[in-house]
Amino acid sequence: MEENTDLFEKIINLTKRRGFVYPSSEIYGGFGGVYDYGPMGVLLANNIKNHWWKIMVQKRQDIVGLDSSIFMSPKIWMASGHVGGFSDPLMENKKTHERVRADHILEDIGVIADEKMSIDEINNLLVSNKDALKEKGINIDDYTPAKKFNLLVESNLGNFTDNNDEPVYLRGETCQGIYVNYKNVFDTTNVKMPFGIAQIGKAFRNEIAARQFIFRTREFEQMEMQYFVKPDIEMSEYEKLKQYRWDALISLGLKPENLKWHKHDNLVFYAKEAYDIEFKYPFGFKELEGIHARGNYDLTQHQNHSGQKLEYFDEETKEHFIPHIIESSIGVGRLFLAVLCQSYTEEAVGDETRIVLKIPKNIAPIQVAILPLSKKEELSTPANKLFQDLSDYFMCQYDETQSIGKRYRRQDEIGTPYCITYDFDSINDNAVTVRDRDTMEQERIPVSELVNYLQAKFK
Ligand code: GAP
């Protein structure tokens, strides 16, 4: 698919202009690969996370939550295979020192270098596709040969000497904190196999080429659920989880035509099956969420490395076994970006272009804006009271600056579903005008009925 660079630029500009996303450390010239979420961004991200938590924990009797730490014993990352094998193929421009991912530049010419390939095989692919790469502006003679670059981010936590203590890592994925707590959860709650543990938290990766805005960053948040099952039902539960996660994305408000399945053809050796749900970003269909059947690899590794028994005892069959794991894993930033890309709309209204973010109403950062027609006290006092009353039920914003037209446009750009105008008639008829973001239609509603009216709209 052709990249829609223009649309993507517009979306990035809007996120900055309206306080969704800021580049990190901007006053110091920026800091690559990390972003800050502004006042609108944090509201949208929280709504996305709450929706995920509701679907994955609140509505499930068989899934419980966890919040494990970012720092963990480095032994965990040895056992998981990250210290030895969590790497991407890095090439560096000999003159400019620009770093690129060999698999990405190959992907740009339609050649897939999968995770199982050795570095020699990738270098051979680069050589055999030298001409096609040149046509795309990459002369591989200007670059060093590809080498493996480990993605774990090291820290010096607890390292008080100069003699190179074992490094401690910032976690590269949240699920390892789930695996190492699986016994704790099982021993301290009433869960019975099959059961799941869900977690939302930060993860860190030394991405070689952080790119496409918040799509690929070095610090990001993951929402992961690991489901522990008896080996014989792994694949049937996997199919159920795939369907469940697809339905969850639809219930959040993503349109089915913007989503598609992508099956991994070359699996890591322990995986039984792996699918991504891809979203149609302006730069093409790309991975939004991964759903993987991981067999008993993770718990076996942690059992072997820790020396602790991680078997499950089935009371009914009197069997001991290491549970198999199926997982769903999605980045908050990627889902946030998907919501923004799907919502960004430009509409002609008279001679003007209206920019409106048609964010699914239930996850819009601001649900209701209260806009008194004038700043005069006779309107601002009751309008402020209305803000206080409604903010018991909804996330509201009060705005009395500029003309009402400009205020509507501002609310459209942050995706506020309903704007309430308190005007001079409101003083006498105790009613207000409610404007719908998508249709721009306006209705006169008595103040006494507002909460019920709006609650019905958000249902
Ligand atoms: N535990 C499995 C795991 O971490 P992954 O495919 O590496 O699998 C899962 O990552 C999800 O995390 C991805 O589908 C994506 O949504 C998100 N993700 C991964 N790397 C990311 C990055 N550098 N920036 C933003 N999101 C990322």
Ligand 1 centroid to Cα of residue 441, in Å, is 41
Separation CA 208–CA 33 (nearest Å): 9
pLDDT band for position 362 (50/70/90)? very high
**Residue with CA at minimum distance from ligand 1 atom 9:** 329
Tell me the CA–centroid distance for residue 256 and ligand 1, in Å. Answer: 21
Q: Report how far apart the first and last C-alpha atoms of the chain are (Å, whole number).
A: 36
What percentage of the chain exceeds 70 in pLDDT?
98
pLDDT value of position 249? 98
- pLDDT of amino acid 164: 65
Q: Both tokens of residue 280?
A: 């149609």
Measured in angstroms, how far is the CA atom of residue 80 from the centroid of ligand 1? 16
- Could you tell me which of 234, 235, 228, 242 has the C-alpha nearest to residue 197? 228
Decide whether any atom of ligand 1 lies within 6 Å of the 280 Cβ: no
Find out whether the beta carbon of 220 lies less than 6 Å from any atom of ligand 1: yes
Atom of ligand 1 nearest to the CA of 292: 2
Is 80 exceeded by the pLDDT of residue 72? Answer: yes
Which among 279, 391, 408, 263 is positioned nearest to 333, based on CA atoms? 279
Predicted confidence band at 163 (pLDDT cuts at 50, 70, 90)?
low
Q: Is the pLDDT of residue 173 over 80?
A: yes
* β-bridge mates for residue 279, sequence order: 259, 286
Q: What is the mean pLDDT of residues 83-92?
A: 90
User: pLDDT band at residue 1, thresholds of 50, 70 and 90?
Assistant: very low
In terms of pLDDT, which residue wins out, 212 or 115? 212
For residue 206, how far is its CA from the centre of ligand 1 (angstroms)? 12
Give per-residue pLDDT as tens, 240-266. Answer: 999 999 999 999 999 999 999 999 987
Q: What angle do CA 153, 156, 160 make, to 5 degrees?
A: 165
CA dihedral (129, 133, 134, 139) in degrees, to 10, reads -90
| Contact of 205 with 218, CB cutoff 8 Å | yes
Residue 330 Cβ inside 6 Å of ligand 1? The answer reads yes
Asked if pLDDT for residue 439 goes beyond 70, the answer is: yes
Residue 13 alpha carbon to ligand 1 centre in Å: 25
- Contacts from 134-140 at CB under 8 Å and sequence distance 24+? 135/109, 136/105, 136/108, 136/109, 138/100, 138/105, 140/91
What the block records as the tokens of 422 is 């308190």
For the CA of 224, the nearest atom of ligand 1: 1
Residues whose CB falls within 8 Å of the CB of residue 341, separated by 6 or more in sequence, listed in order = 7, 8, 11, 279, 280, 281, 282
| The length of the chain, given as a count of residues | 459
Calculate the alpha carbon distances from 270 to 110, 203, 266, 267, 336 in Å.
27, 23, 11, 8, 31
Whether 289 is in the pocket of ligand 1, judged by its Cβ within 6 Å, is yes
User: Tokens 């960004």 correspond to what residue?
Assistant: 344
Contact between 291 and 275 (Cβ < 8 Å): yes
Nearest CA to ligand 1 atom 17: 331
- Is the Cβ atom of 278 under 6 angstroms away from ligand 1? no
Across the range 316-321, mean pLDDT stands at 92
Rounded distance between C-alpha atoms, residue 156 and residue 292, angstroms? 32
DSSP notation for 287-318: EEEEEEE-TTHHHHHHHHHH-----EEETTTT
Across the chain, mean pLDDT equals 94
Residues 6+ apart with CB under 8 A from 309: 303
pLDDT at 3: 63
Sheet with 99-101, side-by-side order of all strands:
99-101, 87-92, 147-150
For residue 265, the 8-state DSSP code is S
By mean pLDDT, which of 31-35, 125-129, 313-317, 394-398 is the weakest? 313-317
223 CA → ligand 1 middle, Å: 9
The reported pLDDT for the residue numbered 130 is 93
Give the integer Cα–Cα distance in Å for 84 and 450.
Answer: 59
Say whether pLDDT at 279 is over 80: yes
Distance 330 CA to ligand 1 centre (A): 6
- Host H or E run for residue 6: helix 5-17
Asked which of 69-73, 154-158, 213-217, 366-370 is least confident by mean pLDDT, the reply is 154-158
How far is the C-alpha of 231 from the C-alpha of 25, rounded, in Å? 48
- Angle (CA) 54-59-63 rounded to 5° is 95
Cβ(205) – ligand 1 distance below 6 Å: yes
**Distances from the Cα of 85 to the Cα of 143, 220, 389, 409, angstroms:** 23, 21, 56, 50
Residue 201 in contact with ligand 1 by CB distance below 6 A: no
List the structure tokens of 45: 């991200």
Looking at the CA of residue 287, tell me the nearest atom of ligand 1: 14
Question: Which atom number of ligand 1 is nearest to the Cα of residue 215?
Answer: 25
Which string of DSSP letters, residue by residue, matches 181-237? THHHHHHHS---SSEEEEEEEEEE---SS--TGGGS-SEEEEEEEEEEE-GGGHHHH
**99-138 pLDDT tens trace:** 999 999 999 899 988 777 889 999 999 999 999 999 989 9
Distance 292 CA to ligand 1 centre (A): 12
Write the pLDDT tens digit of every residue in 394-429.
999 999 999 999 999 999 999 999 999 999 999 999
Name the residue at shortest CA distance from atom 12 of ligand 1. 331
Which ligand 1 atom sits closest to the C-alpha of 217? 24
262 touches 278 (CB < 8 A): yes
Q: Is the CB of 325 under 6 A from ligand 1?
A: no
